[in-house]
Structure 1
Amino acid sequence: MGVHREIDQNPPAFETAIELLRAAPLRPEIAVSVMPAPQRIAPYAIALSGEVTVRGDDLATGRFILLHDPAGHDAWAGTFRCVTFARADVEPEMAADPSLPTVGWSWLTDALDSRGARHAAASGSVTVVTTETFGEMSEDDGDAQIEVRASWTPDGDVGEHLSAWSELLCAIAGLPPLAPGVVPMVRPRSSR
């Protein structure tokens, strides 16, 4: 699952991280698969895509990328970096609320906190996009989306960070948090 440009073997720290990702509990509404990882950001990377589907409806989509540079990276303040993207449609009335970007960012930070995913150097953006239709399309309803893009340096079990990402995807999809004491299912992941 790892990618490296110069040698065929992943370093032990990255292999351990991959195993922690494989074992991470995710929300049952999410289907995750391995996708091509970026090749120029770090010597080692793994990328996952996820879809939130409920009763056949696709509610949200996203990506989780774990980067690793054994030499460390000054901007990361560490040797690993999580990079995420999450997007979902929202009601136009919700998109009109000026507090939605702040709420979107809190969905990420709350998810990290709820999973015990310690982190540093977090940064990101929340974008709300609305589309209005005109002319021949004026009878079509407009639409709106929210996008959360973020990165942070994980401290500890990277599986907790993937679990937090699954919570973020479900939050932007409009799903309620799992009830206390409910443990999300561990889903096997493709190892393409």
Structure 2
Amino acid sequence: MPVHRLIPPDHGFSEAISAMTATQLRPEVRWSEIPSPGKMAPHTWAANAEVDLHDEELASGRLVVLFDPAGDDAWDGRYRFVALVQAQLEPEFAVEAMLGDVAWSWVTESLELSEASVHELGCTATRVVSQSYGALASRPSTVDIEMRVSWTPDEEPGTDVDLGPHFSAWSSMLAAAGGLPPAPPPVAPIAPAHRARAPHAEDPR
């Protein structure tokens, strides 16, 4: 007798993710799906991404999409995006007092550029300055920035949420951290606005 496996319903989550990942991103962004954390929500999806220009990696990051069909009071919605953005900036950013404000503008402008309507938006920007001394004094100073961003997509009652603009917004945050100017997905800029490259951390979490 054939054995019928019962597949629990995902309430359209798979279809929403498939539509989201079909979104055309700017050409410098390369992403790949990775195993998602299973305990953060009933349904999850995750990806890593890098921003490359002229064979140089400018920024890297991670995205996790959470979905609870019953909704989550802490999110104020059914979906929650959790993004990580990392880049290594020029040494002069070590004394840039407004770097946190600049990082926040990368977030808000990326969402606006992608026409991603959100609420419960939050961001933590961390700057790490590394300087070497003694026998290691010849090593150049480095400035790393790490942004942890989360938001809830706005949903119209009775309609299917379009996650594509939010996926695009994440890629724009990566591009901005990597020094690339705002650009529609099909347009490739000539050079970054600031010299940034992705930090080489073993575990970005």
TM-score band by shorter chain is: 0.7 to 0.9
**Aligned residue pair count:** 176
Q: Give me the whole-angstrom Cα distance separating, in 1, the residues matched to 2:99 and 2:7.
A: 45
Say whether the 8 Å CA contact 2:27–2:185 is kept in structure 1.
no
* Aligned counterparts, 1:89-104, within 5 A: 89-104=88-103
Say whether the 8 Å CA contact 2:21–2:167 is kept in structure 1.
no
Aligned partner of 1:82 in structure 2 is 81
Q: Give me the whole-angstrom Cα distance separating, in 1, the residues matched to 2:92 and 2:180.
A: 18
Q: Give me the whole-angstrom Cα distance separating, in 2, the residues matched to 1:105 and 1:176.
A: 15
CA 102–24 in structure 1, closer or farther in 2 if over 3 Å, else same? same
- The alpha-carbon deviation at position 97 of structure 1 amounts to 0.4
Q: Give me the whole-angstrom Cα distance separating, in 2, the residues matched to 1:103 and 1:166.
A: 17
* Aligned counterparts, 1:157-176, within 5 A: 157-176=162-181
Q: Give me the whole-angstrom Cα distance separating, in 2, the residues matched to 1:141 and 1:68.
A: 43
Aligned partner of 2:112 in structure 1 is 113
Helix, strand or coil at the partner of 1:177 = coil
- The alpha-carbon deviation at position 183 of structure 1 amounts to 4.2
Helix, strand or coil at the partner of 2:180 = coil
- The alpha-carbon deviation at position 48 of structure 1 amounts to 0.7
Report the TM-score when normalising by structure 1: 0.87
Question: Deviations 1:92-141 (Å, cap 9, x if unpaired)?
Answer: 11232010011101101110011110001011201111101011001111
Q: Give me the whole-angstrom Cα distance separating, in 1, the residues matched to 2:121 and 2:185.
A: 26
Q: Give me the whole-angstrom Cα distance separating, in 1, the residues matched to 2:103 and 2:9.
A: 35
Aligned partner of 1:136 in structure 2 is 135
Q: Give me the whole-angstrom Cα distance separating, in 1, the residues matched to 2:126 and 2:151.
A: 18
Aligned partner of 2:195 in structure 1 is none
Aligned partner of 2:186 in structure 1 is 184
Question: Deviations 1:151-170 (Å, cap 9, x if unpaired)?
Answer: 11012411100101111100
Say whether the 8 Å CA contact 1:10–1:44 is kept in structure 2.
no
Aligned partner of 1:52 in structure 2 is 51
- The alpha-carbon deviation at position 177 of structure 1 amounts to 1.3
Q: Tell me which moved more, 59-68 or 149-158.
A: 149-158
Helix, strand or coil at the partner of 2:96 = coil
Helix, strand or coil at the partner of 1:12 = coil
Q: CA RMSD in A?
A: 1.4
Amino acid aligned to 1:163:
S
Say whether the 8 Å CA contact 1:95–1:145 is kept in structure 2.
no
- Extract structure 1 runs of 4+ deviating beyond 2 A: 7-10, 182-185
Report the TM-score when normalising by structure 2: 0.82
Helix, strand or coil at the partner of 1:40 = coil
Uncovered stretches (5+) of structure 1, i.e. residues with no partner: 1-6, 186-192
CA 134–159 in structure 1, closer or farther in 2 if over 3 Å, else same? same
Uncovered stretches (5+) of structure 2, i.e. residues with no partner: 1-5, 155-160, 188-205
